[in-house]
Structure 1
Amino acid sequence: MPSITMYTTAVCPYCMRAEQLLSRKGVTIDHKIRIDLDPARREEMMSRTGRRTVPQIYIGDLHVGGYDDLAALDRAGQLDPLLAR
């Protein structure tokens, strides 16, 4: 199973939803990066993803986007194969 990385903040409802969706899939987030605690990590996230909002989720080296993107992958039946790599 690939490593899961999520850029997040302390009080982000979409981050919580993403974590719940992954949990239902039997997956835990290996690296939670709190951008609200470290401005340099926010800059890192924006540089890596080109986005400013959280969550930003990586499955292995693949940037899947935010919660809406993750949920869309799940509805399309494409999330499970990514998690099984």
Structure 2
Amino acid sequence: MPKITVYSNRWCPYCRRAKMLLEHKGVSFDEIDVEAVTGARQEMIRLSGRTSVPQIFINTLHVGGCDDLYALEQQGKLDPLLAG
């Protein structure tokens, strides 16, 4: 199984939507709340080059945000990434 990391916050609807898709896929993921964890937002920006949440990583691959995750799903490219 790949290591999945989701940078998010509690109130973001796009974060909830992205996590719902990952949960539907039956994969576990680490969630880092950028408002609760000191330095997490800066780390996310450094790794992704983006300031908005969610930002999703599969292993070391930055797949982007919620819309990017759903685009991968629609293109049939998400399952191979999740399979490792």
User: Normalising by structure 1, what TM-score?
Assistant: 0.94
Structure 1 stretches of at least 4 aligned residues deviating more than 2 Å after TM superposition: none
Aligned-residue Cα RMSD (Å) equals 0.9
Runs of 5+ unmatched residues, structure 2: none
Equivalent in the alignment of 2:5: 5
Superposed displacement of residue 24, structure 1: 1.0
Superposed displacement of residue 38, structure 1: 3.2
1:54 aligns with 2:56: no
Superposed displacement of residue 39, structure 1: 4.6
Runs of 5+ unmatched residues, structure 1: none
Once the two structures are superposed, residues 19-78 of structure 1 have per-residue CA deviations (whole angstroms, 9 ceiling, x without a partner) of 11011111121x211111135111111111000000000011111000000000000000
Q: 2: CA distance between counterparts of 1:12 and 1:42?
A: 14
1:24 aligns with 2:24: yes
1:43 aligns with 2:42: yes
| Equivalent pairs, count | 84
User: Normalising by structure 2, what TM-score?
Assistant: 0.95
